[in-house]
A and B are shown apart, each in its own frame.
Chain A
Amino acid sequence: MDFSFSSDQLLLKNSARAFLDEHCKPTAVRLLWDDPRGESDTMWKEMAQLGWLGLSLPEVYGGSGLGMVESAILLEELGRAAYPGPYWPTVLAAAAIEAAGADAQKKRWLSAIATGDARATLALLDADLDWDPAAMTARAEKAPRGWALSGTKRFVPWAHVANVLLIPARALEGPTLFLVDPSAAGLKLSPVQGMDLSTRWVQIDMDKVPAAADAVLGTPGQAAPLLSSLVRRGAVGAAAEMLGASRRCLDMAVGYAKVREQFGQPIGSFQAIRHKCAEMLLEVENSHSAVYYAAWALDAKAEDGELAASVAKAYVGDAARKVCGEAIQVHGGIGFTWEYDLHIYFKRAKALEPMYGDADYHREQIVRRVAR
């Protein structure tokens, strides 16, 4: 039993921290807010060179074959830096291709993703905003040369920069996952912007979008278990990012409380502030336990892995909201200004709250498992 990181894992964490401290400073994050793509291609290539994009892909595709714990370590650091870009959607999509794809599909996409030459995303949410794959409303109908997809996908992360879209749709056989070309006829991408300017969402409207017979990922009608596992994996990754954003907010709040003086004292000497910071640390440490337990449980295929993923997303979603919100409170007025960097991390945590199932969704998943 060892809950601490191995030396390799620590190395990954430290090198990620060093890289992001240099290349993903708040000024760099802000520069991309007005950029239509919203991400930096240079940084993407550097991340590929560091081996981050192929982190959990098999070596044969240029990956490192590492697990969810390593992904979580990286995502925590990316969250701490409020990294703007399609890292997690791409990695998650790659995991789907790796898990269910035919050889040709893997060859086409996985190496390209590992080298930074391709970006991908996964359209998990339909028009009615239900994360349960059984509730999917988009349709796939048989067409002369394959399929025709129709329907709407909402809040798809970074679809405007993706080279391939992974789109689930309901066929006669059941839920089916398709690899779709973003420039296909009948497919319309409309960016929507939330409060976190470093997170980009896209609405995808499909009207009889053609997909070839070999665009199906896995067996038609059999995608539901894969989609559920992607939601869970996505949730743990999002929780790791929220953990990172929380740590950043806590660090900033504690740092500020040590130097900001009122009534002739550093405000951190007042119990009203100090106790808030202690409660924030408690939430951050518990979030750490939740994220890494879940990541390990997924890697180890532990029997409570699915439960742990829901626990992590439900707990960390609430904890991050509290920690990042209290960080603004500790700062007072300065924390509410656009110029001060705190809101960058506050908004990153917020943007991930509804994604891959919000806390309410995961609490219901938990009850289904433990109160049968």
Chain B
Amino acid sequence: MDLNYAPEDREFRATTRRWLETNVPKHDLKTLDERKAWHRKLYEAGYVGMLWPKEYGGWGTTPMRQAIVQDEMARVSAPPTINGLGIGFIGPTIIVHGTEAQKQRYLKKILTAEEIWCQLYSEPNAGSDLASLKTRAEDQGDHFVVNGQKIWTSSGPIADWGILLARTDSKVAKHRGISCVLLNMRQPGVEVRPLKQITGSSLFSEVFMTNARAEKSDLIGNVNQGWEIAQTTLGFERGGNSLGRVTRYTTAFNQLVKATKELKRGGRPLIEDGAVRARMGRIYADLEVQRYAALRVLSALQKGDAPGSASSITKLSYTEFEKRYYELALAILGPFGHLMVAREEFEEVDSSSGEPGTFATAFLWSRAGTIYSGSSEIQKNIIGERVLGLPKEVRADRLKA
């Protein structure tokens, strides 16, 4: 056990910090073009696609270095990269399961954010029970004709491409009739409607596909292999960027400390109130443990261990933590915690989504984490069955299958 950073990683951190100090945009990035330009700059500096193999345009460096970059970016509240799903899990899916032609066609443009990607998995009636999805892809020889509706699609309005799960065989058990195919979002048969969330912003959307066309050459793996592919790659989504995430929480905690010194109750600063102190201590202990856990995951990744089902523990841990965290922060701040516009007493904080705002924004966003990418209940099922080896539950759909 040695939790010191290696000298070369410390050096790398110092270099990264200097680069960010010089290059982080001084003003908010307003347009998509500005965000793409910032992303491109990070990519060219070697800070995007760090784990991707060099042959596909990545940098082939270590999980530790990637974590250091994410951590340093969080430290200075740098604007986030874009195309997170593309880089974090769609690209890796293509790397693992795609054809050589697909790799050549798509990977580099994912990294550079020349093409933005979205995920077309969830449907109005297929959430946790994703395998019951209804969107159909009919085989027309050289292409599929796609009809159906997807929901909770991040980056929908700006996406050029989507990774789609659709039913290609309705006569077999539900898990065995699904295919995974890449879908061009820029076509008449695809309509994207923004979905306003409880935060007031619209980062998700609904996607309607009416006789949309997906090329056969864009099929990932074989026909009806889609569920298997989704199973192996959903884990990519869980547990990533945990160090940078914790640094953002710490930044928010410092804002909270500042607020409790400035806000008064009964004539005294909140920070002098024993009940407030107890809550602050609880939050901070919880937050530090998330940091230690992130280091533990990072150390395992660094040694080449695949997190597998254990990534469900990480995801469950930080998303549930985030809810407790912002609930306690709001309890401490009282009505001030409800304000949606930053004030003198507390500056903006980053929510987990990267959407800046007040504690109220972050509090609202914290409700999303335990639902997306497999709800907490689904994670507990995975942990129970695959980590603890508890018997599978008797489910109606398994009895039929």
In the complex, residue of chain B having the shortest beta-carbon distance to the beta carbon of A288: B296
Residues in B with CB closer than 8 Å to A254 are 388-390
Contact partner, B1, options A2, A279, A315, A371, Cβ 8 Å: A2
Given the interface pairs A293-B295, A362-B281, the reply to whether A6 lies near B1 with Cβ below 8 Å is yes
Contact across chains for B285 and A315 when beta carbons are under 8 A apart? yes
Residues in B with CB closer than 8 Å to A209 are none
CB distance from A288 to the nearest CB of B (A): 8
Of A265, A279, A288, A307, most buried by chain B (CB within 10 Å of CB) is A279
CB distance from B13 to the nearest CB of A (A): 12
In the complex, residue of chain A having the shortest beta-carbon distance to the beta carbon of B310: A285
Residues in B with CB closer than 8 Å to A293 are 3, 292, 295
Question: Per-position contact with A for B255-291: 1 when CB-CB < 8 Å, else 0?
Answer: 0010010000000000100000110111011101100
* Stretch from B28-36, B53-61, B182-190, B299-307 that touches the partner: B299-307
Of A278, A279, A362, A365, most buried by chain B (CB within 10 Å of CB) is A278
The answer to whether the Cβ of A262 comes within 8 Å of any Cβ in the partner chain is: no
Contact across chains for A286 and B278 when beta carbons are under 8 A apart? no
Question: Per-position contact with A for B366-401: 1 when CB-CB < 8 Å, else 0?
Answer: 000000000001011101110111111110000000
* Stretch from B4-12, B93-101, B169-177 that touches the partner: B4-12
Question: Per-position contact with B for A49-63: 1 when CB-CB < 8 Å, else 0?
Answer: 000000000000000
Contact residues, A237-291 vs B (CB, 8 A): 254, 257-258, 265-266, 268-271, 273-275, 277-279, 281-282, 285-286, 288-290
Contact across chains for B393 and A290 when beta carbons are under 8 A apart? no
The answer to whether the Cβ of A152 comes within 8 Å of any Cβ in the partner chain is: no
Contact partner, A366, options B281, B292, B385, Cβ 8 Å: B281
The answer to whether the Cβ of A176 comes within 8 Å of any Cβ in the partner chain is: no
How many angstroms between the C-alpha atoms of A307 and B260 in the bound complex? 21
Given the interface pairs A315-B286, A370-B257, A371-B257, the reply to whether A1 lies near B5 with Cβ below 8 Å is yes
Contact across chains for A268 and B277 when beta carbons are under 8 A apart? no
CB distance from B329 to the nearest CB of A (A): 13
Residues in B with CB closer than 8 Å to A2 are 1-3, 299, 302-303
Contact across chains for A370 and B253 when beta carbons are under 8 A apart? yes
Residues in B with CB closer than 8 Å to A279 are 380
For B, the interface residue count at a CB cutoff of 8 angstroms equals: 49
Contact across chains for B296 and A363 when beta carbons are under 8 A apart? no
The answer to whether the Cβ of A360 comes within 8 Å of any Cβ in the partner chain is: yes
Contact across chains for B313 and A366 when beta carbons are under 8 A apart? no
Contact across chains for A300 and B3 when beta carbons are under 8 A apart? yes
Residues in A with CB closer than 8 Å to B278 are 360, 363-364
Contact across chains for A275 and B384 when beta carbons are under 8 A apart? yes
In the complex, residue of chain B having the shortest beta-carbon distance to the beta carbon of A284: B313
How many angstroms between the C-alpha atoms of A315 and B288 in the bound complex? 10
Given the interface pairs A254-B390, A366-B285, the reply to whether A289 lies near B296 with Cβ below 8 Å is yes
Given the interface pairs A277-B390, A293-B3, A362-B285, the reply to whether A271 lies near B381 with Cβ below 8 Å is yes
Residues in A with CB closer than 8 Å to B389 are 254, 258
How many angstroms between the C-alpha atoms of A189 and B154 in the bound complex? 68
The answer to whether the Cβ of A3 comes within 8 Å of any Cβ in the partner chain is: yes
The answer to whether the Cβ of B110 comes within 8 Å of any Cβ in the partner chain is: no
Contact across chains for A1 and B285 when beta carbons are under 8 A apart? no
How many angstroms between the C-alpha atoms of A4 and B3 in the bound complex? 10
Contact across chains for A285 and B380 when beta carbons are under 8 A apart? no
The answer to whether the Cβ of B212 comes within 8 Å of any Cβ in the partner chain is: no
The answer to whether the Cβ of B360 comes within 8 Å of any Cβ in the partner chain is: no
Contact across chains for B6 and A4 when beta carbons are under 8 A apart? no
The answer to whether the Cβ of B316 comes within 8 Å of any Cβ in the partner chain is: yes
How many angstroms between the C-alpha atoms of A310 and B282 in the bound complex? 11
CB distance from A274 to the nearest CB of B (A): 4
Residues in B with CB closer than 8 Å to A268 are 384, 388, 390-391
Residues in B with CB closer than 8 Å to A219 are none
How many angstroms between the C-alpha atoms of A94 and B316 in the bound complex? 41
The answer to whether the Cβ of A367 comes within 8 Å of any Cβ in the partner chain is: yes
The answer to whether the Cβ of B64 comes within 8 Å of any Cβ in the partner chain is: yes
Given the interface pairs A289-B293, A360-B278, A364-B277, the reply to whether A371 lies near B271 with Cβ below 8 Å is yes
Contact partner, A269, options B288, B383, B390, Cβ 8 Å: B390
Contact across chains for B3 and A1 when beta carbons are under 8 A apart? yes
Contact partner, A311, options B9, B271, B288, B303, Cβ 8 Å: B288
Contact across chains for A269 and B394 when beta carbons are under 8 A apart? yes
The answer to whether the Cβ of A292 comes within 8 Å of any Cβ in the partner chain is: yes
The answer to whether the Cβ of B165 comes within 8 Å of any Cβ in the partner chain is: no
Given the interface pairs A3-B295, A254-B390, the reply to whether A296 lies near B3 with Cβ below 8 Å is yes
Contact across chains for A258 and B300 when beta carbons are under 8 A apart? no
Given the interface pairs A69-B1, A363-B285, the reply to whether A277 lies near B313 with Cβ below 8 Å is no
Contact residues, B293-347 vs A (CB, 8 A): 293, 295-296, 298-300, 302-303, 313, 316-317
CB distance from A7 to the nearest CB of B (A): 12
Contact across chains for B280 and A367 when beta carbons are under 8 A apart? yes
Contact residues, A300-314 vs B (CB, 8 A): 300, 302, 307-308, 310-311, 314
How many angstroms between the C-alpha atoms of A269 and B316 in the bound complex? 20
CB distance from A362 to the nearest CB of B (A): 7
Residues in B with CB closer than 8 Å to A269 are 390-394
Contact across chains for A271 and B4 when beta carbons are under 8 A apart? no
Contact across chains for B277 and A281 when beta carbons are under 8 A apart? no
Of B257, B380, B390, most buried by chain A (CB within 10 Å of CB) is B390
Contact partner, A314, options B3, B281, B299, B390, Cβ 8 Å: B281
The answer to whether the Cβ of A14 comes within 8 Å of any Cβ in the partner chain is: no
The answer to whether the Cβ of A9 comes within 8 Å of any Cβ in the partner chain is: yes
* 22 CB-based A-B contacts, threshold 8 Å: A2-B2, A2-B3, A6-B1, A265-B394, A268-B384, A268-B391, A271-B377, A274-B388, A275-B380, A275-B384, A277-B388, A278-B388, A289-B296, A290-B288, A296-B3, A300-B4, A311-B289, A315-B288, A362-B281, A363-B282, A364-B281, A367-B284
